[in-house]
Structures are given as C-alpha cells and as structure tokens.
Structure 1
C-alpha cells in the first residue's frame, strides 16, 4: 500500500516537473518577462496543488523557482540572483505556491472528511431502516449484529444482553467474554485505536442493558454511539413486542379458560340442583336409618359445596365482562361486616372475630352484594390459612377521601415475591396447594370487585405477626366516576 502510494507520488512529481520545464522553455522562446513567467508557473503550481496535493506542488514549486532563476533573472543561465527585488519576488512566489498548495490540501482533506461523514450517515440511516423490519420471530440480537457488521462494514460485531445473558457474534472479533462482562460491570466505554476495537455500554435511558463490541472498524465516536443507540432501541422494541405478544396470549388464554369454566358451571348447575333437592327431600322425610342418613347428609353437604363453587364460577365469569354493571347504594360498613361474618359462620367457627379501631359509622357508595362477596372471600381465606383457634382482626380505617377495610389473621405468611401473584387467576402460594383446599380464584375476584369500584386491594405479611388484606374504596364512587 505504501509502495504504491510512493510510486504514484513519484509519477506525479515527474509529470509536474516536465510541465514546469516545458512552460519555462516556451516562456523563454517567446521572450516573456519575469512577471509573466512567474504567473504561468504559479498557475501550474496551484493547479498541481488542487489536483494532487501539497507534496507534489511543493517539489514542483522549488523546480519552478530554479527555472525562473536560471532563465529570467540576471545573470542569465546561472543560479545566482544579483537584484534583491528578484530575490524577494522569488521567495514570495515560493511562499504563495506553498500556501495555496497547503490550503488546497486542507480543502481536499475537508472534502474527504465530509464525504466519509456522509457515507457514515448513509450507513446509519440504512441500519435504522433495517432495524425497524427485524424478524420478531427470530433471535433479534443475532439479526442485529449481522446488520451492524454488514451496514457499517466492520470486521466483527458482538452483542451481550444482561437480561437474557445472551452473547451473539458476527464476523471476526477477538474480544473475550470476560472482557465484555468486565466492561458491563465497570460501566465504561472503551476505544482501542491500535486494534480499531470499541466497546460501548448499551443503555435504555440510564439503565445499562448490554454491551456492543465493534472490531476492525473505521467509525468515529459519534457513529459508534449512534450505532449503540440503535442497538438499544432495537432490543427494547423487541422486548416490548414480546411483552405485548405474551400479554395478548395470556389474555386470550384467560378468556378461553373463563369461557370453559362458565360453560362447565352452567352444565353442572342443573344436575347439582337435582341432587340437592333429592338429598334434602330424603333428609326431610326422616325415614332413613342411621348409616343411610349419614351418607345422604354427606351427599347433601358436598352437593351444596359444589353448588356454591358453581355460583362462584358464574359470578366470576360475569365479573370478567367489560360491561360489568354495579348496583350502587349507600352501604353501612359495620352492618356489611356483621352480615358477612354471619354468612360464613361455619367457616369461622374455630376463630374469634375482633374489631379494631373506633366504632365510628362508615359508609361507601357501592354494590352491596359484590362488596360482601369480597369480604366473605377474604374472611374465608383468613380462616383457612390462619392458625387454628386464632382470632381474626377486622378493622375499618377512614381517610379524607377513602376508607380501608382490613382483615388480619395470625399464622400465615406470603413471601414478598408472591404478594402480587396471589391476585392472579388460579395462582396459589407455594406450599399451600396441598395443605389447604381451594381453586385460586377468590382473590382475583376480590381485586376485580375493588377495581370495579375504582378502589384497590393489597396485602402485607410477616412471619411473626401474620397477614393483613386491605380493601381500599373511595367514600363517594360517584365523584370518582365523574373525574374519570
């Protein structure tokens, strides 16, 4: 490469020197004066500087000075200058020639830099276009490194993502996995001009999400940073699409599951009603023996449980509909809690009920039936998961714009990582699925009822003190609806 450049420069100098000699001979033949000859040579030097650069123009300008001295200054045909004015003129000519060639060289370099910058912008623009059409079904990171290597014309690219701990490579890149992990841990960008290698921390906002490595590249810092930003956008875009697809799949799965349960609940309703009526009639006739009576009583109890579960499923399906209509009225919370406790007296028979706080009357504008269903569900859970014989604490806390109903039981614990999951449909805490019977539906129904009233439900749990569920509702849901 260097030898080729030297040969090219030598050819240019020889061509320029020949041109300078020919112009000198022509000017001498036609008896040009020094000023005219100087102008011609100056034009030649400027032309060479514009066309070839500073080195060639400098050498030719020295030769031109010698020719002008030999042919046009006294004494002629000798390399001496007797007049100081001629000496100044020649020096001025040489300085002008060198200055013009220098400026021309700078202009050429600037034009080359501008062209290179334009090429880099074009490559980045093409990369951004290709990033928008990545195949979401494939591995996005692998597609991304292939695109960066192809569009930015680098020898090798590596991309490591912190979320999936995945490292994708394309081309030849000698950076080791340990070096990439170290760069991520230190959070520092690295540039090695010797190997033309750059490591950049990929960030989503201010949060680091990976490391991008480019090996054997000619990119400037701005282009490298732009490529890193495009990589971050592509990764986050792929993740958002994946999250959206998973959410849609979960929604469709949940909708299908709810539809099936609704159908099964309706299918079970009629046979269960027949069984309950028959068993109740047999018991009412009082004609059965002791063993027969116990068996029929067992049938009646379990049929009642299945009927309650069926009603629960039907109500759950109705709560899932987007057009859920609430029958609102002013509900006295003390009366509602008392009726809820009476409604599940069988489940609470081994637990004492204690009221917390003041007995100040509190009320909300809500659907009495749905709100009682939510309280009964939490009471039932508290009784099932609480320590045998322990007390259940029920409290009502009033705030300026909302009221909270809290139910606390002792002896149960929900790990922090599961406190949000317990409100998901069919989810049951680790270790509880075999110990306590249940469907995992109840708390999801409680959340749906609270949200329908523009409220919320939350849980706090501690191994020593137990677990507390809180249903928070606005005092006046009508005002909330107007603001929405």
Structure 2
C-alpha cells in the first residue's frame, strides 16, 4: 500500500515536471522565432521589428512570472514563520493598494466590506497578503470593465470569515475540481488572460499552512466567490 502511494506521488511529480517543461519551452520557442525575425529585418521594416520586440518583451515577462511563482511555491515547502496576531483588515488594504492601479486601468472597482472592530487572526502577515494579492489579481483579470471585485471580512464566534467575490466570467463546472492544481488553466481562462497557473496553488498552500480550507463557488457569466476562515488570535 505504501509502495503504491509512493508510485502515485512519483507519477504526479513526473506529470508536474513535464507540464513545467512545456510551460517553459513554449515561450522560449516563440522568443527564438522572433529573434530570427529581428535578425533578418531590414531597416525599412520598422513595424515588423517593433512587433517582434514587443512580443519578445511579453514572453520574457511571462517567463519571469512563471519562475517567480515556482520559487514562491518551493519556498512554501519550508512552512510559515510563527503565527502571530495579525490585523487582517490592514493586510487586505495593503493588497488592495497593490492591485489598485491595474484594476483602475481595466475599469474594475475594488471594494472592502469589513465588520466593525474585527478581531485579530493568527497568521503570517506576509503570506496572507500574498493570498489576497493572488485572489484579487485573479478577480481583476477575469472581470470585464465596469465590474466589481469585493472583499468581505466577517466576524464569527472564533474565526474571521473571508469572501472574495467578483462579477467576472465565472469558471466552467468542469474546471472547478482542478483550479487549485499546479499549472492548471482552463481553455476559457487561457483565452481571457495571461497567467502561470500557479497563483491559486500558492493560495491553497498558504491557507492550508494556516489551518484553513479555501472553497469556491462559481457559475459562468455570474462571477466567482472564494471563501475561507481564519482562527481568531487568543
């Protein structure tokens, strides 16, 4: 039974490595192709030269995000630092500030609804900030202009409940079981926005280290809601 479990784990690992190799190879191949175009361009072909230059810059940025997310995921294996009392509202406000410009450029409104006198939670502030940045970024990317992404912080008996709701494109039911899998991106998500497919994996990993489970409810064209609860600090 133990041997069988290790075999499954090894196959999952091999699949992940193949997927990472593919995700790295695709932009590299495209960059090489456009490098050849640049090398063969004449002075008169300035428009073609600029398009290739912009394409390469975009692919390099995509590679950099993928590598950064892979490094973040690997560092999470070390666990979180000591969990201490954290003002969750401040953490969320910092995450909102980080996403404000990209949301404004897209015409998406970010809002925070927090219960009064919210108690502190047990957590790692830096890691929790990453959770909110990833979820808010996800909401902004898949919400059209004129839409909303709302964070709700609600106080319970011994925990603070969190909801992040967007009015975006929603997630197909067939994709929902897989959205937290490393490097998974559904067909509609790929068409709608760029991404590494690791953001939600990082979110789930961090929350698991805080003893929290993340849940998702979504319906195509009716938006998505992510929710979880964090224990109140003693």
Instruction: Tell me which interval the TM-score lies in, with the shorter structure as reference length.
Output: 0.7 to 0.9
RCO higher in 1 or 2 (8 Å CA, sep ≥ 6)?
2
**2:32 corresponds to which residue?**
none
1:414-454 deviation line (CA, Å, top 9, x unaligned): 23332221011111123222331112111011000000111
Are 2:162 and 1:405 equivalent residues in the alignment? yes
- Alignment TM-score, normalising by the size of structure 2: 0.72
Are 2:108 and 1:351 equivalent residues in the alignment? yes
By how many angstroms is 1:256 displaced? 4.6
**1:429 corresponds to which residue?**
186
How far apart in 2 are the matches of 1:259 and 1:463? 28
How far apart in 2 are the matches of 1:342 and 1:462? 28
**2:145 corresponds to which residue?**
388
**1:252 corresponds to which residue?**
13
**Structure 2: gaps of 5 or more residues:** 25-49
Query: Could you tell me which of 86, 97, 115 is aligned with 1:331?
Result: 86
Change (3 A) 1:243 1:395: farther
For the Cα contact (< 8 Å) 2:214–2:226, is it kept in 1?
Answer: yes
1:310-338 deviation line (CA, Å, top 9, x unaligned): 3322111112x2x4242433211111111
Corresponding residue pairs, total: 204
For the Cα contact (< 8 Å) 1:397–1:404, is it kept in 2?
Answer: yes
How far apart in 2 are the matches of 1:439 and 1:347? 18
Are 2:121 and 1:364 equivalent residues in the alignment? yes
Change (3 A) 1:304 1:352: same
For the Cα contact (< 8 Å) 2:165–2:226, is it kept in 1?
Answer: yes
By how many angstroms is 1:259 displaced? 9.3
The 5-angstrom pairing of residues 136-215 of structure 1 reads: none
For the Cα contact (< 8 Å) 1:450–1:472, is it kept in 2?
Answer: no
More helix by share: 1
State the structure with more CA Rg: 1
**Structure 1: gaps of 5 or more residues:** 1-239, 265-293, 480-484
How far apart in 1 are the matches of 2:222 and 2:117? 26
**2:37 corresponds to which residue?**
none
How far apart in 2 are the matches of 1:340 and 1:465? 24
How far apart in 1 are the matches of 2:88 and 2:74? 26
By how many angstroms is 1:255 displaced? 6.8
For the Cα contact (< 8 Å) 2:163–2:226, is it kept in 1?
Answer: yes
- Alignment TM-score, normalising by the size of structure 1: 0.37
For the Cα contact (< 8 Å) 2:115–2:155, is it kept in 1?
Answer: no
How far apart in 1 are the matches of 2:138 and 2:4? 32
The 5-angstrom pairing of residues 18-417 of structure 1 reads: 244=5, 247-253=8-14, 256=17, 307-319=64-76, 321=77, 323-349=78-104, 350-356=107-113, 358-417=115-174
By how many angstroms is 1:245 displaced? 6.6
Match of 1:471, SS state, is: strand
For the Cα contact (< 8 Å) 2:168–2:222, is it kept in 1?
Answer: yes
How far apart in 1 are the matches of 2:108 and 2:100? 9
**1:120 corresponds to which residue?**
none
